[in-house]
């Protein structure tokens, strides 16, 4: 919540600057006058995210890619950031790496996309598909944490180093950490490679296959 409060304060200071203020000793807004709590349903949270202008990604995005899937999914997939296809459609993982992710869900886990929930660390596309900055990830994090709180997944699969690092704060390399369990704040994370890495390095598919077999086993045991 502190990130959200700071981001709102920063936004207000930028607005004052645009209006020509060089210095202000007024409190732009009283903290207790603004409701900083996030909505308690996924649909209201989606609406709030769709109107978000807390970071510069909101200026270049076409659509906010909030996430989609089963709102009570046992399994939550978290990628890095929307790409061009996701930006224009408003849906996560619908481009080439999305096709591969769908195949992994269907063929290895024996599930359909609509059984799981899929989202990203940041909800708006970084220009030129850049890796989201730490600031962008932190500003967007309250949305992700609220999604986790509302969906209550039994297991979270992070796709790629960036998603794992920004969700957990752990900086261990993805090659070393993939396929292992990381427990935090009541939820369990299992990192694996990002599908776009697999498109470039098909030989790494066998490791992801191992990780997903583990995911399948864990989900079975949790039910």
Positions in the binding site for ligand URA (CB under 6 A): 79-83, 86, 92-93, 95, 97-98, 120
Rounded to the nearest whole angstrom, what is the least distance from the CB of residue 78 to ligand URA in the complex? 8
Rounded to the nearest whole angstrom, what is the least distance from the CB of residue 207 to ligand URA in the complex? 18
What angle is formed at CA 57 by the lines to CA 96 and CA 172, rounded to 5 degrees? Answer: 65
Residue nearest ligand URA, CB atom distance: 79
Q: Between 98 and 142, whose beta carbon lies closer to ligand URA?
A: 98
Q: Between 11 and 63, whose beta carbon lies closer to ligand URA?
A: 63
Q: Between 26 and 178, whose beta carbon lies closer to ligand URA?
A: 178
Q: For residue 169, what are its two tokens?
A: 């704060």
Q: For residue 136, what are its two tokens?
A: 């962008």
Rounded to the nearest whole angstrom, what is the least distance from the CB of residue 2 to ligand URA in the complex? 26
Rounded to the nearest whole angstrom, what is the least distance from the CB of residue 162 to ligand URA in the complex? 8
Place of tokens 């203020």: 21
Q: Between 15 and 130, whose beta carbon lies closer to ligand URA?
A: 130
Give how far Cα 47 sits from Cα of 42, 176, 186, 200, 203, Å.
9, 38, 26, 35, 40
How buried is 10 (Cβ within 10 angstroms: 0-12 exposed, 13-18 middle, 19+ buried)?
middle
Rounded to the nearest whole angstrom, what is the least distance from the CB of residue 31 to ligand URA in the complex? 34
Strand positions, DSSP E, 23-114: 68-69, 75-79
Count the neighbouring beta carbons within 10 Å of the beta carbon of residue 185.
8
Name, in order, each residue with C-beta under 8 angstroms of 10's C-beta and a sequence gap of 6 or more. Answer: none
Q: Between 4 and 163, whose beta carbon lies closer to ligand URA?
A: 163
């Amino acid at each position: 919540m502190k990130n959200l409060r700071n981001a709102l304060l920063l936004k207000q200071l930028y607005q004052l600057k645009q209006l020509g203020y060089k210095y202000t000793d007024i409190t732009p807004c009283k903290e207790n006058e603004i409701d900083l709590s996030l909505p308690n349903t996924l649909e209201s949270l989606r609406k709030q995210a769709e109107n978000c202008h807390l970071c510069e990604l909101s200026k270049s995005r076409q659509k906010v890619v909030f996430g989609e899937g089963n709102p009570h999914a046992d399994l939550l997939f978290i990628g890095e950031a929307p790409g061009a296809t996701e930006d224009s459609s408003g849906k996560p993982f619908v481009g080439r790496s999305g096709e591969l992710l769908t195949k992994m869900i269907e063929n290895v886990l024996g599930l359909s996309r609509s059984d799981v929930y899929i989202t990203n660390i940041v909800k708006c596309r970084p220009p030129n598909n850049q890796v989201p900055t730490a600031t962008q990830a932190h500003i967007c994090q309250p949305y992700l944490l609220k999604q986790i709180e509302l969906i209550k997944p039994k297991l979270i699969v992070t796709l790629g180093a960036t998603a794992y690092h920004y969700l957990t704060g752990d900086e261990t390399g993805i090659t070393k950490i993939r396929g292992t369990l990381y427990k935090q704040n009541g939820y369990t994370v299992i990192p694996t490679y990002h599908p776009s890495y697999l498109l470039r390095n098909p030989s790494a598919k066998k490791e992801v296959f191992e990780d997903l077999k583990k995911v399948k086993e864990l989900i079975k045991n949790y039910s």
